[in-house]
């Protein structure tokens, strides 16, 4: 099965930037340590961080995915995926009991500390237009095809049932 979870490209970029900032004290390579010291507008000059989703998904069209989930509906999508994959309820219940909605929260840079100007947000959007296109396509697919309901997946004859 081919499965992916996507995140709004602007949120992903900003989150990645703050992850680098937080990680600079850890043992990162010199390049990452230098990148972590840049302000977000300086980070925009670093093209390896642009369009990460579209570059990683490029070899495979979204229509070939068996399931696409989204960061903003992660918990619900995990339960939908579990139904699609026929995961045992005990496994899912154990995951849910340990899952913390804020497990991946960057406490060093909380939302209140993430003030980003409108100009910088516009530049981030421009630097990630391919990702925005992929994300929009995935949202459209979510409303139809294999991403919408588990019942539709089980009736889809394109996939083997392994």
Predicted confidence (pLDDT) at residue 67 exceeds the cutoff of 80: yes
Question: What pLDDT, on a 0 to 100 scale, did the predictor assign at position 126?
Answer: 95
Question: What pLDDT, on a 0 to 100 scale, did the predictor assign at position 42?
Answer: 84
Asked if 161 and 81 count as a contact pair (C-beta separation under 8 A), the reply is no
Structure tokens at 130: 């391919």
Whether pTM > 0.85 for this model: the answer is no
Asked if 124 and 14 count as a contact pair (C-beta separation under 8 A), the reply is yes
* Separation CA 73–CA 138 (nearest Å): 13
């Amino acid at each position: 099965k081919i499965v992916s979870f996507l995140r709004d490209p602007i949120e992903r970029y900003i989150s990645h930037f703050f992850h680098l900032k937080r990680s600079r004290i850890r043992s990162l390579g010199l390049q990452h340590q230098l990148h972590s010291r840049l302000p977000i507008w300086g980070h925009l000059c670093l093209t390896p961080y642009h369009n990460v989703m579209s570059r990683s998904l490029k070899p495979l069209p979204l229509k070939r995915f068996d399931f696409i989930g989204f960061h903003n509906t992660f918990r619900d999508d995990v339960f939908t995926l579990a139904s699609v994959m026929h995961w045992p309820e005990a496994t899912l219940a154990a995951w849910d009991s340990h899952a913390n909605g804020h497990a991946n929260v960057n406490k060093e840079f909380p939302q209140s500390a993430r003030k980003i100007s409108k100009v910088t947000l516009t530049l981030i959007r421009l630097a990630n237009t391919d990702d925005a296109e992929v994300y929009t396509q995935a949202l459209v697919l979510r409303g139809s095809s294999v991403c919408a309901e588990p019942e539709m997946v089980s009736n889809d004859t394109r996939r083997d049932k392994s």
